Homo-oligomer: A and B are copies of this chain.
């Protein structure tokens, strides 16, 4: 079987587990999807398309992610909301040795208490993945979102 097709399946499974962890609010599981020195970046597509470095969030290790989770769950004051990730099947861009590059389009929906669900954030994941004994891990996940709006309330990871 074609290697890229098999990789699609593996990344789909990873994305589904990632989405489930976030949407079920198991935030402590979230850093474990990354390498210890993995990167997590949330960036508007205008900046990304122009090669500009400015990003809304840029975390450069599991430690920074754990810190972020602590902030989300313990210290940041914010209105509560649920998230729901719907992620399309992955596109495998390249595979060189242990490093896989892939991207997936996502839509995140937000539901605030007593309100209906709404489109919250859409964009694409640009990923660098590494095969480890514990399965595929993100060396880098860059969430490139389409809209600059509603970000004042972007609390939970995308």
A interface, CB within 8 angstroms of B: 1, 4-6, 8-10, 12-13, 15-17, 19-20, 23, 45, 82, 84-92, 103-107, 109, 111, 114-124, 146-150
Contacts and interface: CB of A to CB of B under 8 A. Distances in A.
Contacts of A12: 8, 89
A147 B116 contact: yes
Contacts of A45: 82
B8 A90 contact: no
Given A9-B9, A84-B122, A148-B114, A91 B20 contact: yes
A115 B150 CA distance: 9
- The binding surface of chain A is classed by DSSP as mixed
A85 B106 CA distance: 8
Of A4, A86, A92, A103, most buried by chain B (CB within 10 Å of CB) is A86
A126 to B, nearest CB: 11
A87 B88 contact: yes
Nearest to A4: B13
A146 B80 CA distance: 13
A41 to B, nearest CB: 18
A1 B105 CA distance: 26
A16 B109 contact: no
Contacts of A84: 105, 107, 122-124, 146
A104 B16 CA distance: 8
25 contacts: A1-B1, A8-B12, A13-B91, A15-B88, A15-B89, A16-B88, A16-B90, A16-B103, A16-B105, A45-B82, A82-B147, A84-B105, A84-B122, A84-B123, A85-B88, A86-B107, A86-B122, A109-B119, A109-B122, A111-B146, A111-B147, A115-B149, A117-B121, A117-B147, A119-B119
